[in-house]
Structures are given as structure tokens and as C-alpha cells.
Amino acid sequence: SKEDFDLAAIYVSDAQYNRNIFFDTSPQAATMLVELLCLLVFTIRLVHYAKVIPRDKFWKDPKNICIIVILMLTLADMIIYGALKATNYYALRWSRVLRPLLLVNVTEGRQLRRAFRSIRNALPQIFYVFLLFMFSVLIFSLMALKLLGKRGLKTIDGAPYFTNYLEIVFDLYVLVTTANSPDVMMPAYNASFVFAIFFIIYILINTYIFMSVFLAVVYNNYKKYLKEEVRQLVRAKRHKMVRAFAVLQEQREEGGGPVVTQANWNQVVRLVQPDISNAHRELLWSVCDDNNQGSIGKVAFVQLADLLNIEVITLKSRPHPFHSVCPAFYLSAPSRLLCRMVQHRAFVIMYDIIILVNAIFIGLDEENPMIANSEWVFLALYLLEILLKLYVFEPRAFFSRHSFWNWFDTFIVISALIATIVNSAVKSSGGYTSRQILDIVFILTVSSFRFRTIINTLIRIGPAILTFGQLIIVVYYVFAMVGMELFKGKVKFYEKDSGNPAGAYCGNPLLQGTDFAKLNYCKNNFNNVVSSFILLVELTVVNQCSGFAAVTHVSARIFFIIFHILVVIVIINIFVAFVLEAFFVEY
């Protein structure tokens, strides 16, 4: 019946695109900010869910319970905070740290929950390596204390160097992040070059070997997880195709298994992919029914989902027009050498380098006539490339329907040529124009065309990078909230024009004369969410935290060490593992 075909078509189409209808009905682009700010929405959602979903199912789902607990804790926190503030006590909005958990627990956070699960699975192994890593840091600290502690060395600030064990542990931990290299080693190195060997061995073991081992552990776990995911996907695809087969099957011969006839198969394929050509469809059928029996069994039917994804392009091999017109010339030795040169890898690389040089020239001084005229040279080179390619490749194949990029390339070069001519005409008639914006657009498009293999890969991993973005934002949010509680208002930024002398020490006398103030880091503070987030990005790259320990207490360093462990050792490594895997699949 019609309904059967529709149902089968839906199964096949789902299998073809690995869709999961149950989940995809809710929009993926989570309205994150709204969700973070508006607890009310969550309550309404939850009440709505509780009404729709059967009671026992609702209470069995840990997500719902988690949301209820968070909502209640937040409410309690708000009441306590209000009461304490009203009676002028010091109050802490501790529940803010819980907010990201709301984000993680809603349906739209599925990707995010998956990423969290992947981290949780890797944690025991990471912890084990981390223990050994901490041992190594501690042993090296002990050795440093014994080697350097009693030599009376001083740092540039005149403070005693490597005399306190816990300070040494912290300094050597920061050395792993490379933030205080080479400063931490200079006093010892100035005393004798022999001590430099100690630091070199330390860096080799703890920065290079251990950080690689962390990556190895995280990557290994990630691969395991990914394999399981692919296995599930394949299973789901097969399951759907089997269900489609069950709808369409009929018993043809006695004793034989159930089959799908060519007529039914054709109808389903036409429903799934209405724009498929008859030739293409018949090709697919002949692949499935390789014994020419007029019907196919389950095994042959199941592969349809993958077959539909294969793109079929018909290519006609035609000789080059020059070849037909004047073969003696086109087949002569110099002409053939030219063809070989243009088809060589080095030709592509040469033009890549030409574009690179062009990109350098664009940024240089516009007023210099040599640089201003160089654009003509570059344009001539680009035109030459197109002409050479047209000479070597058959023009109709070069400009065929499927060779989108060749069209694009020619279009870009010709429009750049026109723009340059128009521009120089306007300029010579006295009008002012800036070529550079035009040039940037040009270089951007040309280079994006050149490197489309890599760029396509980067674009393909884009959505997953967004998942990592969410993950990072959740973790940053928690640290921003804790950081704001700990350090809010301790470091202040004054505009340069304000003339306030406190600007020289970030509004905190404790920072007077410190590197933090000298390097003008005052805007790196936890005073609001935006600057907290920017500071956390900086801390991810280089863990600079001496300023915050100075304005509060030495133990504030623990906050920065935990941040480094969680973000750099765990999350950034997962990100690297992810990029690695994405590239291995592509290459």
C-alpha cells in the first residue's frame, strides 16, 4: 500500500543520513543565554514534562531529578542571600556555580552530556598518570631544594631563591605550563651552568614526556569512545533498513527467503530520492541484484542506504581542441614538457607561494610605487595560470558542471582584474580609493579555494568544535563564578585618560611594583563575567597568576592549578585528540 511505501521510504532515508528522528525534533541551537539566566523557564518546562511523561518514568530520569535539585538549591541560595544581605551580613551566591549543570541536563545538551561522559570515562586513567606526574614534580622539587636551597641565591626581586619547598613545587608546576620559563631557572643558571642541566631534564620529563602521555591517555579513551559510537550508528542504520525490508518483503519462491521485487525497490528509491535519474537507479539495482534474479534478499537490500550516498559522475573523455586542430604542434616535445610541468605538484605549490607573497605585499606600504604596481604582476600571473590550465586540460571538462571550483577561480581572477583597472582609472583621475580591502577579499577567496581540502576538513569539524565550545564555556563559567567570588574588585582597571594615580598599581597597593602592574595587566581581572572569560582564555594559553596570589593569599594559586589541570590537561587534550582523529579520517 501507499502507507507501506512511505514508511519504508522514511526508514531508508533515515538510514541514509544517519538521522535520529526522536531527537532531532527539538532545535539544536540551544538558547543558552536565556536558559542560563531564566530559572523560571526551567521550572515551567519541568512542570510541563511532569504532566506529559508518565510519573514513574519522570522520577526515574536522573536529568529531571538533577534539575529539580538545582532549582531548589538556587531558590534556597536566593532566600539565604537576600536574608543575609538584608541583615548586612557577608553573603555568597554559591548556587551560581550550579547553573551550567542546568544547561547540561536539558535535552538540547545531549552533545554536551556526551562530551562530559567521555571525560568521565578518561578520568581514572588521567588521575593515575597525574599521580605519577605529581610524584615527579615533588621529587624534582626535593632535589631542587637540596641542590639550590642553601646556596643563598636571590631572584631578580632580591627574594631568596628556592628555599621554601611548597614554593618550589608551585614554581616547577608553573614551569610545566612554560609560563615562567626561563625566568625560574635564571638565578641557578647564573650561579653555574651545571644547574641548567637539572632544569633541562625537568622540562624534558615533565613538560614533554608527561604532557604527551596525558594526550596519549585522553586520545586513547577518546578513540575507544568513538569506535563504540560508530558501532552504534552502523547498528542503528542496519536496524532501520531491516525494518524497511520487513515492510516491503514478499515470499516469492517456496523454500526461499523473503525478497523485495525490483518494482517495489524502484518505487521506494523514487520516493527517497525523487531527483534520481533512471540510469543511476538502474546502475544501483544492478549492483544490488548482481545475479540478475529480478529480486533481492535482505543482505542486498540493507546496503541500499550506503549506495544512495555514493555520487555518480559521468565523464566524457575528449581530446583537447588543439590536439585535433594541430596535433604536430600540440604533441611536440616542448608542448608536452609544458603539459607535464603544469600537471606537476610543484606547479601548484609555486602558485600557492605566489599567493603567499601577494598576501605579504598587500600589507606593505601602499604608497610605495613598486608595491602598488606589483598587483599587476600578480594579476598577470593568475591569468597566466588559467590560460596554462586551459592549454593543458580539455576546456569543456575544465568548465564542466561539476568543476565548480574552476568556474569560481576564473570568476575571481577576472573580477579582480576589472576591479584593478577601474581602481587605477579612478585613482589617476584624482579620486581616493583603498585597494587594500578589495585585496583582502581577493586573497581570502583565492586562498580559501586553494586550500579547500584542509578547509573542508576544518569546516566539517566545525559543529563538533561548537560542542567543545559549549563544554569549555560551562567549565569557564564555573571558574568565572568562583573567581569572581574570590577576586572581585581586588584588581581594578583605570582608563589612561582618567589620570587616577591608582591606575599604576591597578587600584590595589599590594600590586605596587609587581610585574602584574608593570606589564599593565590591570584589565585581567574577575570583576565581571566578560573580563573573567577573557582572563580564563589567557590562563588557558599561559597560566599567569602571580598577581592574584599577591592581592589575596598564596593559597589562591590552588584555583589556578585546578584550572590548569581541568582545562589544559583534560579538555584541551580532548580537543587535540578530536582534531587528530578528524584529520586521520580525512587523510
- Residue 331 binds: one of Na ion, a second copy, none (C-beta under 5 to 8 A by kind): none
The stretch near Na ion (CB under 5 A) out of 10-18, 178-186, 191-199, 328-336 is 178-186
Which residue from 47, 76, 84, 156 is in contact with a second copy, where contact means CB under 8 A?
Answer: 156
Neighbouring CB atoms inside 10 A of 548's CB total: 25
Q: Binding to a second copy (CB under 8 A): which residues in 166-185? A: 166, 168-169, 178, 181-183, 185
* Spatial distance between the Cα atoms of 535 and 40, rounded to a whole number of angstroms: 30
Q: Binding to a second copy (CB under 8 A): which residues in 407-446? A: 436-437, 440, 443-444
Question: Which cell is 70 given?
Answer: 538545582
Using an 8 Å Cβ cutoff, are 448 and 455 in contact?
yes
**Cβ of residue 177: shortest distance to Na ion, in angstroms?**
7
* Spatial distance between the Cα atoms of 574 and 318, rounded to a whole number of angstroms: 50
CA proximity to 284, closest of 303, 257, 264? 303
**SS3 per-residue string spanning 388-444:** HHHHHCCHHHHCCCCCHHHHHHHHHHHHHHHHHHHHHHHHHCCCCCCHHHHHHHHHH
Q: With binding defined as CB under 8 A, does residue 580 bind a second copy? A: yes
**Cβ of residue 59: shortest distance to a second copy, in angstroms?**
30
**Cβ of residue 506: shortest distance to Na ion, in angstroms?**
24
Q: Binding to a second copy (CB under 8 A): which residues in 335-364? A: 345, 349, 352-353, 355-356, 359-360, 362-364
Which residue from 85, 117, 146, 402 is in contact with a second copy, where contact means CB under 8 A?
Answer: 146
Q: Binding to a second copy (CB under 8 A): which residues in 211-230? A: 212-213, 215-217, 219-220
Instruction: Indicate the residue among 178 and 403 with the shorter CB distance to Na ion.
Output: 178
- Residue 146 binds: one of Na ion, a second copy, none (C-beta under 5 to 8 A by kind): a second copy
* Spatial distance between the Cα atoms of 64 and 106, rounded to a whole number of angstroms: 9
* x/- track of binding to a second copy for residues 445-474 (CB under 8 A): --x---x--xx--x------x---------
Instruction: Indicate the residue among 22 and 193 with the shorter CB distance to a second copy.
Output: 193
Instruction: Indicate the residue among 80 and 153 with the shorter CB distance to a second copy.
Output: 153
* Spatial distance between the Cα atoms of 258 and 247, rounded to a whole number of angstroms: 11
Sheet holding 250-251, edge to edge: 250-251, 258-261, 295-296
Q: How many residues bind a second copy (CB under 8 A)?
A: 89
Q: Binding to a second copy (CB under 8 A): which residues in 191-210? A: 193, 196, 200, 203, 207-209
Which residue from 28, 178, 373, 528 is in contact with Na ion, where contact means CB under 5 A?
Answer: 178
Using an 8 Å Cβ cutoff, are 480 and 532 in contact?
yes
Cis peptide before 258 (omega within 30 of 0): no
DSSP lists the bridge partners of residue 392 as: none
* Spatial distance between the Cα atoms of 296 and 305, rounded to a whole number of angstroms: 14
Chain contacts with Na ion (rule: CB under 5 A):
178
